[in-house]
Amino acid sequence: MVRVASNPDHTYQVLNIDPDASTCWVRRWPLSRHGSPPFALPLNQLTSLERPGG
């Protein structure tokens, strides 16, 4: 799970990290009833990382 500098009040689930492109694919967490569409962010926009369950 991550938080994003531009939206620190929300949590996002990491789906994939592409270190070659410095990109992280995420989706909003918890998932909405109809799912949450994934989107890419630059790795440098992530403000904190959390391990699942703590």
Decide if 43 is inside a domain.
yes
Domain that holds residue 30: 2-48
Q: Is 6 inside a domain boundary? A: yes
Residue closest to 15 by CA, chosen among 26, 29, 30, 28:
26
41 falls within a domain: yes
Residues 37 and 25 sit within 8 Å (Cβ to Cβ): no
pLDDT, tens only, 10-54: 999 999 999 999 999 999 999 999 989 999 999 999 887 656 555
Model pLDDT, residue 48: 72
| pLDDT given at position 53 | 58
Predicted local confidence at residue 54, as pLDDT? 52
Is the separation of the CB atoms in 12 and 51 below 8 Å? Answer: no
What span, in angstroms and rounded, lies between the C-alpha atoms of 13 and 28?
Answer: 6
Please state the domain count of the chain.
1
CA 44, CA 33: separation in Å to the nearest integer? 29
Q: 54 in a domain, yes or no?
A: no
Q: Is residue 21 part of a domain?
A: yes
Residue 49 is predicted with a pLDDT of 61
**Would residue 39 count as lying in a domain?**
yes
